[in-house]
Amino acid sequence: MTTAIKEVNSHFKDFLFDWRCKTQLLVDGESSSKSYHVSLKQLLKLLEENVQL
């Protein structure tokens, strides 16, 4: 099994762990990996809540 490691874009570090807002608007460049970081945030939230899929 191989493991891929991808660093978090420094622009999104605060976004990933900020759970105070129900809605957030992300504005950045065309290839800034917004979709990747939104997905990562959702996965982190599931892990934090210990949700079983």
Give CA 32 to chain center in angstroms: 12
| 8 Å CB contact between 26 and 15 | yes
Residue 15 confidence (pLDDT): 84
Residue 53 confidence (pLDDT): 63
pLDDT level of residue 51 (50, 70, 90 thresholds)? low
For residue 32, give the 3-state DSSP assignment.
coil
The predicted-structure confidence for 4-35, as pLDDT tens digits, reads as follows 777 887 878 888 888 888 888 888 778 778 88
- Report the distance separating Cα 50 and Cα 3, nearest Å: 22
**pTM, rounded to two decimals:** 0.67
- Report the distance separating Cα 17 and Cα 46, nearest Å: 12
Residue 26 confidence (pLDDT): 81
CA atoms within 13 A on the CB side of 18: 11
